[in-house]
């Protein structure tokens, strides 16, 4: 089931929201590729795009939080670091970098992790930074 952007996901009506919309689009493209049975290079390109965009998004978000002196900065960066570790582990499994390649287990784990992270992180964690972003405008 694809993720649909909702207004309750809005954090700043600017860069962070646009990043989240793009992340949704990329996650949905990974899920669509899987549903259509695509594997190999196409899927890995989508996953690598997701990894790069996630890194870039976290960098932008953390820069904004640092600039506005958000008291939740450390908490947010810790959560970002944890997700990056999860993402790297799943990518390593997909590429067979940690032993035997097991895409049958890694791919569903990736989709589940991405969806739960995006929805959980945005709706539970990022909403906590929304008042600080609004106050800084």
What are the boundaries of each domain within the chain?
Answer: 44-136
For range 14-29, the mean pLDDT: 92
Is pLDDT above 70 for 96?
no
Average pLDDT over the chain, rounded to whole?
84
At 132 the three-state DSSP class reads: helix
Q: Are 62 and 80 in contact, with CB atoms under 8 Å apart?
A: yes
Q: Each residue of 71-90: pLDDT tens digit?
A: 999 999 999 999 889 888 87
32 pLDDT band, cuts 50/70/90, is confident
How far, CA to CA in Å, does 27 sit from each of 18, 24, 49, 83, 104? Answer: 14, 5, 10, 14, 18
41 pLDDT band, cuts 50/70/90, is confident
Q: Answer yes or no: pTM beyond 0.75.
A: yes
Q: Would you mind telling me the total number of residues written for the chain in this entry?
A: 137
Alpha helices in 15-69 (DSSP H): 15-35, 41-67
């Amino acid at each position: 089931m694809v993720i649909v952007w909702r207004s309750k996901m809005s954090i700043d009506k600017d860069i962070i929201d646009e990043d989240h919309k793009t992340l949704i689009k990329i996650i949905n493209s990974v899920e669509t590729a899987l549903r259509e049975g695509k594997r190999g290079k196409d899927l890995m390109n989508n996953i690598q795009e997701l990894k790069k965009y996630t890194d870039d998004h976290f960098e932008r978000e953390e820069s904004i939080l640092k600039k506005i002196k958000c008291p939740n900065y450390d908490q947010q960066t810790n959560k970002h670091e944890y997700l990056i570790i999860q993402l790297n582990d799943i990518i390593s499994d997909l590429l067979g970098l940690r032993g035997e390649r097991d895409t049958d287990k890694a791919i569903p784990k990736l989709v589940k992790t991405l969806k739960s992270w995006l929805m959980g992180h945005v709706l539970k964690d990022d909403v906590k930074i929304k008042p600080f972003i609004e106050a800084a405008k």
